[in-house]
Amino acid sequence: MNSHNRPALPLLLTFAVMLGSHSATAQDASRYWADSWRGWHFYEAPAPEETEHPFPLGKATATAPPAQPSRAQELVEFERLQKTLEETRNIAIMRPSEANVRRYMELESQVVARASYFADVAQRVAWATPQLDPTLQGRPVNAKALEVFDQAELVDRSRAIADLGKDHVLFFFYRSDCPYCHAFAPTLAAFQARHGIQVVAISVDGGPLPSFPNARPDNGIATTLKVSQVPAVFLAQPFTGKISPIGFGVLSESQLLERIATVSAPQAEAILPTTTQGLALPLEAP
């Protein structure tokens, strides 16, 4: 290359750079006019950077706790009323002005009215549902119904005691100088005749008793059973040696029936005191 051509090389390079710059400018302008719909103030957010997932694929991730079930609106209203009543009462106690006391009394009257209405509805439901009617559960309150109930209960208990008398007896501890024992003895004699369970009279002091001419003298069983007060009645099963206290003092026939039925019930052993001893007293007449 001769010296005349050397100055032309920088010019060519400069021209090429200018052409490239012009070409880039033309392309940018072309892109702008092609995207004129974006507007003058268009802004594109940069693409989010890819980040590594904190948990490997295939493993469980922490999840939000399940939402609690919504409470019944009635419960919310009841708690609000209860809280309002309590706060109103406390305000009336601390500042017993006429307005505060009246406000509390009016609110309390509304609560009482609601409770009264509930009681009326509950009563009507009970009347219409025999299983929920308290007058049909247990001992009746009506005089006529009570009479029928007592009579039916007497028959059932008498039958049960007659069956019990096949292998049970009543031990009657007395003293010949005890007026209560003399007063109680005819009741026991009539009870024995009516319900078919044998009464074994045992004299603690060895004295006689008109209602039980075949009474036995105490052979130590009163001491074994810790009989410190007479008259005393025990239900005994001689063949097993099981003895259960019935009561002390003068008892009526209905009390005897009730207590014997109670202590002889299948579940009685778990709740009633029972003395189990070997019986040395013969049941045959001497």
> Does residue 15 fall inside a structural domain?
no
Q: Mark whether 80 and 152 lie in a shared domain.
A: no
pLDDT, one tens digit per residue, over 183-223 is 999 999 999 998 889 999 999 999 999 999 999 999 888 98
**Mean pLDDT for the stretch of residues 25-35:** 53
Question: Where residue 241 falls among pLDDT bands split at 50, 70, 90?
Answer: confident
Q: What is the pLDDT of residue 265?
A: 76
Q: Mark whether 150 and 111 lie in a shared domain.
A: no
CATH code where residue 177 lies: 3.40.30.10
Q: Mark whether 156 and 214 lie in a shared domain.
A: yes
Q: What angle do CA 17, 23, 28 make, to 5 degrees?
A: 130
DSSP assignment of 243-277: EEEEEES---HHHHHHHHHHHTSTTGGGTS--EE-
Q: Mark whether 91 and 179 lie in a shared domain.
A: no
Q: Mark whether 208 and 114 lie in a shared domain.
A: no
CA 51/CA 31 separation, integer angstroms: 31
Q: Which residue has the higher pLDDT, 216 or 68?
A: 216
> Does residue 121 fall inside a structural domain?
yes
Q: Mark whether 251 and 174 lie in a shared domain.
A: yes
Listed in sequence order, the residues at least 6 apart from 126 whose beta carbon sits closer than 8 Å to its beta carbon are: 132, 133, 134
Instruction: Let me know: does 172 contact 200? Beta carbons within 8 Å.
Output: yes
> Does residue 63 fall inside a structural domain?
no
> Does residue 21 fall inside a structural domain?
no
Q: How many CB atoms within 10 Å of residue 85?
A: 15
Q: Mark whether 214 and 103 lie in a shared domain.
A: no
Q: Mark whether 149 and 99 lie in a shared domain.
A: no
By the 10 Å C-beta count (0-12 exposed, 13-18 middle, 19+ buried), 211 is classed as buried
Q: Mark whether 123 and 247 lie in a shared domain.
A: no
Q: Mark whether 90 and 179 lie in a shared domain.
A: no
Domain boundary among 110, 137, 164: 137
Q: Name the DSSP letter for residue 54.
A: S
Q: What is the pTM of this model?
A: 0.52
Residue 206 CA to chain centroid, in angstroms?
55
Q: Is the model's pLDDT at 142 over the cut of 70?
A: yes
Candidates 166, 158, 165, 167; CA nearest to 194 is 158
CA 126/CA 5 separation, integer angstroms: 123
Domain boundary among 137, 165, 185: 137
pLDDT > 70: percent of the chain = 70
> Does residue 14 fall inside a structural domain?
no
What domain range includes position 105? Answer: 73-137
Q: Mark whether 178 and 196 lie in a shared domain.
A: yes
Q: Mark whether 90 and 189 lie in a shared domain.
A: no
Q: How many domains does the chain have?
A: 2
> Does residue 261 fall inside a structural domain?
yes
pLDDT, one tens digit per residue, over 42-65 is 555 566 666 555 555 555 555 666
> Does residue 66 fall inside a structural domain?
no
> Does residue 30 fall inside a structural domain?
no
Question: Where residue 249 falls among pLDDT bands split at 50, 70, 90?
Answer: very high
Domain boundary among 104, 137, 170: 137
Number of H helices and number of E strands within the chain? 7, 6
Q: Which residue has the higher pLDDT, 155 or 29?
A: 155
